[in-house]
Structure 1
Amino acid sequence: MALSHSSEAAPATRAQAPSQQTTDLNTRTAAQKFYFAAWRWHFYAGLYVIPFMIMLAVTGMMMMLLTQYQGRDGEKIRIEQGETPLRVEAQMEAALAAQPGTIVEWIGPKGDDLATVFRIAPEEGGNRLVAMNPYTGDIVKIWDRRTGWYDWADNMHGSLLIGDTGDRLIEIAAGLSIVLVLTGLYIWWPRGNWTAALIPNLRAKGRALWKSLHAVIGFWMSALLIVFLISGLAWAGIWGGKFVQAWSTFPAQKWDNVPLSDVTHHEALNHGHTNDVPWALEQTLMPESGSAAGLTGVPAQTSVTLESVIILGRHLGMEGRFRVGFPRGDTGVWTINRDSMSSDSTDPFVDRTIHIDQYSGRILADVKYEDYSWAGKSMAVGIPFHMGLMGTWNFILNMAFCLSVIFLSVSGVVMWLKRRPARAGRLAAPPVPAELPFWKGAVVIGLFCSLAFPLVGLTLLAVLAFDLLVLGHIPALKRAFS
């Protein structure tokens, strides 16, 4: 995350540093040229990335704290527990009496002392949530769905509140952050002194202390940062939506002889920026009601109602908090869903989505974690991990990670300002280390990132063009950027 990760040069190298900085760059070896190019790319990436990374860390902490202490969709609203819950039909009537409209979704409680929640679409539009005591029918709370601080932070985190333009800017920042990590590790890589890489030197002072803390924290957090960046990119419009998700979407053809609509899960079940279905299913087509397809679900002599669908869900193993989405239109289906990404559970391995024919009650589709592709499985685990939803340990780890990202960002700027000579007319790149054994491998890694992340590739091409076409032909400017 730094603007400078360089390791301390050997004494001989430091002694030569002034002459190296002023020597004609054409006399340097290929390895030295690549080192300075990597440092410039690291610097450019840092200038762009650091504001985004601080924003992502701050809004990420906001969302995790709000989820931890307030919950999502009323999951932590407590009620006075009674003996026997009212029939679901009576609960629906009470919810609609308090909030007129069309019931869209039933959300079951995680425990017997928690509220049941109905999502209702009023005639004037939008979605409202109604939390009630299922034992008495008393309404505990009514509120607009996803219009609070969590949602502000979520929209800022994903789009800077400016839609697709913000999404693309953040996607570039996330991709460049991967480049930043890799180039930082290359520049800093310890050449013989691994102790300094693993344990901070708390006896150091000034810039040396900043550098030691930055290097050690950056080293230990680098792998986790890559995991967070890649899982976060799954939401991005280009890399996530157009490439990875399209490659790993669950194939609807696995549902044998089931009629399909022309509407995806994302269009049918998600609400605006809110994702209510598993990542691997978002681009999969929804099944349709009205055929003889499917397996026996609701018993043949039983009416297909919310109550019978809930009973079926529990019979199929849905425990605690899960959701039932109502059919939309004449060919819509009942959808039973438990998704760790929506905080329904802390275990992504029990995620499950079941579609029920609204007329016959037959099971048209039943998708579990083990049915996903390897990429779908990775995201099914990676996204709730990214959001801190896999338990207290995950929340604590992610909070520490976000604080570390902020420290790395700030300390990178501080180190550069402390190292850069006063009134120096250049960026003041670090001295070239005595050994550069890995530069060819670093080139390969850079090429891989460019191919794997299209917007990163375009950005790196722009930087390369700037290096070759501008810096390469203007010596004074080239020296200023060294």
Structure 2
Amino acid sequence: MITTSPVTGAPAGAPRVNRFYFAAWRWHFYAGLYVIPFLLMLATTGLLMLWISVLSGRDGERIPVVPAGTPISVEAQADAALAAVPGGSLAGYIAPSSVDQAALFKVRTGEDAVTLVAVDPYAGDVLDQYPYRAGWYDTLDTIHGTLLLGTLGDRLIEAAASLAVVMLVTGLYLWWPRGGSLRAALVPNLGARGRGLWKSLHATTGIWWSLALLAFLLSGLSWSGIWGERYVQAWSTFPAAKYDAVPLSDKTHASMNHGNAKEVPWALEQTPMPASGSHAGMAMPGMADGEPLTFGKAVAIAREIGFDGRFQLAAPRGEDGVWTISRDSMSNDSPNPTTDRTVHLDRYTGNLLADMRFADYSIYGQAMAVGIALHEGDMGAANVAFNTIFCLGVIFLAVSGVVMWWKRRPAGVLRLAAPPAPRDMGLWKGAVLVGLVLAIAFPLAGIAILVAVVFDALLLSRLPAAKRLVS
């Protein structure tokens, strides 16, 4: 008679690989309990943001105009925008991406309050105005990044994304064909029924999307508060020492972000801003000695040094603030991240203090410039189509995982039905080493794994009622 293990349900004396299979399955299950709700949230909000951006722009800025000769001066356009917001001051300008779109002006009405004003560049008419970064896109973006919970939400999402990497690794191990053909593992078995069909669809979808999912997870994690800000970003930031001997501000580029909106290239966020108020930098044409840089002249300089189409101009803030000209793919200024460029000009002399381009970033900074653009669907129609299918695929992975659990759980019994824990694990030290590497690489995943180990190994063995609920 064939006996089976009371723990794994596998035949007694089963090969060691089966024990590892059950261990990987159990960790895949535990990680999924926490990760699945977050994956559903991230994929759903990401999909909605993608199509809001496509259809109306992130700020609803795709306002058409009828070209009528030569545009009036940008100073006259700015005056019209300021007149529409009494008491406001000019905070920035977004040049139209084409001749048939409105010019956009950021008008500051308080410390953090900005109104976006759309102006017809030909007639000077104000077409619309509304609070900047306060629409549906930004609400979804805040949910996507922090769950509307600030730092706590950021940490919860970082833990989920880190554990999703664990799910990805264990999922690949579970999927790996054992004795069967690779083709059978890559093509779903549509002839299967019940849980077998769901398992086949889940596994093949997971393997086809594994590299894309890893790329999305890493690009998202690179903006998180611990792994991103304190690990990779701190070591991949553009070094201020590469400025050409200019004075530095005590503010970083991240101070230019508006609320939760990320408007500054990832590789520059932790880089100190240059400061106005010296004679440093390179003189710009058309600037007379002692003549401060005005908005109109800053736009003219931007055009002269190669900024065409859509670009953004940020006005100085504070006595040592600078004029900043930028083109950034993640801000929808261009579909090509390799053309990203940020220029700072002294507000008093107009001198060029810094000119940073894609080629100046670190390798990881360049990877993030491309990765974020892909992540947000900023690189054209093909990118939008891919991200749409990807988000739907992630939603399917999460839903199919729940369906498989539902079909596997004991009917009529209130249990989690976690996969059985294997005993007599050979090479367990190797598994511990892998866990330690993951914990060091992704600290919040390490904390979550430690909590799960304590719960699984210590509490369940001492609490029979909890063990029955989980098993």
**Which residue of the other structure, out of 323, 344, 347, is the alignment partner of 1:334?**
323
**Hey, what does 2:66 align to over in structure 1?**
80
> Map of 1:403-414 to 2, 5 A cutoff?
403-414=392-403
For 1:312 and 1:16, the matched residues in 2 are separated by 82
The 1:120–1:85 alpha-carbon spacing in structure 2 relative to 1, beyond 3 Å, is same
**Hey, what does 1:8 align to over in structure 2?**
none
- CA RMSD across the alignment: 2.8
For 1:74 and 1:171, the matched residues in 2 are separated by 29
* Greater Cα offset, 422-431 or 257-266: 422-431
Q: Could you list the per-position Cα deviations for residues 116-168 of structure 1 after superposition, in whole angstroms to 9, with x for gaps in the alignment?
A: 00000114851100001111101111011111111111111111111111111
The 1:441–1:322 alpha-carbon spacing in structure 2 relative to 1, beyond 3 Å, is farther
**Hey, what does 1:3 align to over in structure 2?**
none
Post-superposition offset of 1:330: 1.9
> Map of 1:53-92 to 2, 5 A cutoff?
53-92=39-78
Secondary structure, counterpart of 2:183 in structure 1:
helix
The one-letter amino acid of 2:53's match is T
**Hey, what does 1:7 align to over in structure 2?**
none
Asked if the contact 1:338–1:353 (Cα under 8 Å) also holds between the matched residues in 2, the reply is yes
Post-superposition offset of 1:387: 0.8
Secondary structure, counterpart of 1:105 in structure 2:
strand
**Hey, what does 2:340 align to over in structure 1?**
351
For 1:196 and 1:16, the matched residues in 2 are separated by 30
> Map of 1:203-218 to 2, 5 A cutoff?
203-218=191-206
The 1:479–1:105 alpha-carbon spacing in structure 2 relative to 1, beyond 3 Å, is same
Post-superposition offset of 1:74: 4.5
Secondary structure, counterpart of 2:370 in structure 1:
helix
The one-letter amino acid of 2:170's match is T
Q: Indicate yes or no: 2:140 matched with 1:153.
A: yes
**Which residue of the other structure, out of 12, 37, 42, is the alignment partner of 2:23?**
37
Q: Could you list the per-position Cα deviations for residues 20-52 of structure 1 after superposition, in whole angstroms to 9, with x for gaps in the alignment?
A: 646899x88875554433222211111111111
The 1:35–1:199 alpha-carbon spacing in structure 2 relative to 1, beyond 3 Å, is closer
**Which residue of the other structure, out of 270, 283, 297, is the alignment partner of 2:257?**
270
**Hey, what does 2:169 align to over in structure 1?**
182
For 2:352 and 2:397, the matched residues in 1 are separated by 51
Asked if the contact 1:35–1:439 (Cα under 8 Å) also holds between the matched residues in 2, the reply is no
Bigger relative contact order, structure 1 or 2 (CA pairs below 8 A, ≥6 apart): 1
The one-letter amino acid of 1:192's match is G
The one-letter amino acid of 1:336's match is I
Asked if the contact 1:74–1:117 (Cα under 8 Å) also holds between the matched residues in 2, the reply is no
For 1:174 and 1:102, the matched residues in 2 are separated by 40
Secondary structure, counterpart of 1:200 in structure 2:
coil
Secondary structure, counterpart of 2:152 in structure 1:
helix
Asked if the contact 1:196–1:212 (Cα under 8 Å) also holds between the matched residues in 2, the reply is no
> Map of 1:20-419 to 2, 5 A cutoff?
21=8, 33-100=19-86, 101-123=88-110, 126-193=113-180, 194-267=182-255, 269-301=256-288, 304-419=293-408
Q: Could you list the per-position Cα deviations for residues 184-218 of structure 1 after superposition, in whole angstroms to 9, with x for gaps in the alignment?
A: 11122111321222111222222221111111111
**Hey, what does 2:419 align to over in structure 1?**
429
Share of identical aligned residues, percent? 52
Post-superposition offset of 1:386: 0.8
The one-letter amino acid of 1:130's match is V
For 2:465 and 2:21, the matched residues in 1 are separated by 19
Post-superposition offset of 1:477: 6.3
The one-letter amino acid of 1:262's match is D
Secondary structure, counterpart of 1:168 in structure 2:
helix
Asked if the contact 1:298–1:304 (Cα under 8 Å) also holds between the matched residues in 2, the reply is no
For 2:154 and 2:416, the matched residues in 1 are separated by 33
Asked if the contact 2:237–2:365 (Cα under 8 Å) also holds between the matched residues in 1, the reply is yes
Secondary structure, counterpart of 2:121 in structure 1:
coil
For 1:354 and 1:261, the matched residues in 2 are separated by 15
* Greater Cα offset, 352-361 or 440-449: 440-449
* Greater Cα offset, 33-42 or 209-218: 33-42
Give the total of aligned pairs: 464
Q: Could you list the per-position Cα deviations for residues 210-261 of structure 1 after superposition, in whole angstroms to 9, with x for gaps in the alignment?
A: 1111111111011111110111112211111222211111111111210001
Post-superposition offset of 1:316: 1.8
Asked if the contact 1:421–1:428 (Cα under 8 Å) also holds between the matched residues in 2, the reply is no
